[in-house]
Structure 1
């Protein structure tokens, strides 16, 4: 079972509070041809939380709107599932960044942080998508023609 949206955000914030002592002051946010781009760790992780909260908000609003209008078909359900799963995936990305950046011993962990966070993003989206597809109400069949 998937944890609730608010609980997921609180768990993310709690993870930051537990891991912040081992996190660097600057966290990689971008890798490009010119090298790694760094920014303040609280800023990067705060932006991640804000993006996740926005995705959750869009998913909840869309779900409430579509169900109240009676438009709960496969397409609209997929939009809701993907929006909510995106929120969980972005939180997984942030958690992956925190965990990868807190590993001691490496001098410059830019590529590791990005790599682990993208892996966490994909795993988080896949897991949330699979669970949400099963726990949300079944979509009504659409009449064609």
Structure 2
């Protein structure tokens, strides 16, 4: 039996007090989990063995995420207020538990939010995308396994 999960049932929250209290982001339609990439610096020299390029591990970056949401006035107000703070906001994504877990995995990171209202076609729901420019480290905590 597969132990994979679907995104439905996950929780995406944000904290403006450094992670003491978290509040749900309304109408999320996706999850926010950064992908950490590492830059590699070319350190090849005239005496590199066999003429192969050599690299040195450089800085890491978790990039920019796109968090899809349904537009609500409350959600837009929340995100524009967060953007106006001018400091990173802490985000937490809690996945629903897999079949062999009692609690789901948790990802935490900080980012600068930019809300973007997406106009829908006639009769379609109005959406909102929150662009999250990550800053700093990303943490991951595995869910609790079932006994």
Greater percentage in strand? 2
Name which one, 1 or 2, has greater alpha-carbon Rg.
Answer: 2
Greater percentage in helix? 1
TM range, normalised to the smaller chain? Answer: under 0.3
